[in-house]
Amino acid sequence: MNNEFDTNEGNELMDVFSKKEKSKIEKAINKLSNIDFNDISIEAKEKIIELLRENTLPAERFFANYRCAIMEVETKFKVLNEEFSLMYDGNPIETIKSRIKSNESILRKVIRRELPFDLDALEENLDDIAGVRVICSFVDDIYKLADCFLRQDDITLIKMKDYIKNPKPSGYRSLHLIVAVPIFLENEKKLVKVEVQLRTIAMDFWASLEHKLRYNKKIAPEMLDALSRELNECASESAELDFRMQNVKNTFLGKDLPKRA
């Protein structure tokens, strides 16, 4: 196996470093790769473990805060879903998904936006490290849930983007909320940003397929263009389906029919 560390110009993640910095990184990693850890004393191994722990603990705490914020947001939507089931004899939420952005995705965004390589800069500049996706049956459920969620006194709305009323050129539709939610730690209360996406089942199905195609590098450009046009048509048909299903629900409940967007 080749233990040489790749510092070539074509390595996107290394391009942010100067030649001098690359050389230092290469030497350090190559030295580590040549160490036979079987020859190291137990005391030295313990010191290495302690050093690693001290250096990784801030990052572990950083991501733990986002995991806690996700739990807070998920709980709020689960409580609303339970209340709605009692009040309206039905659950507006089909499912709730969550994720922490991967280290690679974070690093690529940092490089693209030329942000500093430190945790404070990540916390300040990145809004989507923690993400919660709420999948609903009907469009009116999305706005009803979003309104109830944002009226809670411990939720601070930072940014809202309504891609349902104003879809992206690709056809993407969803309601995006960037919020700050408090988490209560041992000795402090901390506000953590979470991106909340609210979609119908149809919107989520479309977005999932579009995401897979967009990041599939094996698809030829001409094929990708053709598929993108097809997906755009599917998005229009999906929006029409959501509108018709909302009509069915409103007619059944004796409500006013929705107006077309």
Distance of CA 233 to the CA centre of its chain: 26
Q: Which residues of 36-51 are buried (b: 16+ CB within 10 A; e: fewer)?
A: eeeeeeeeeeeeeeee
Residue 221: Cβ within 10 Å count: 7
Task: For residues 51 and 67, give the distance between their C-alpha atoms in angstroms, rounded to a whole number.
Answer: 25
User: Rounded to an integer, what distance in angstroms lies between the CA atom of residue 23 and that of residue 17?
Assistant: 10
Coil, helix or strand for 45? helix
CB 178 within 8 A of CB 191: no
Task: Measure Cα distances from 234 to 203, 221, 244 in Å.
Answer: 10, 20, 15
DSSP 1: -
Catalytic residues: 195
The structure tokens 């999305």 sit at 142
Greatest distance between any 2 Cα atoms in the chain:
79
Helix (H, G, I), strand (E, B) or coil at 248: helix
Across the chain, the runs of DSSP E, i.e. the strands, are: 93-100, 130-136, 156-162, 175-184, 189-200
The one-letter amino acid code at 100 reads: I
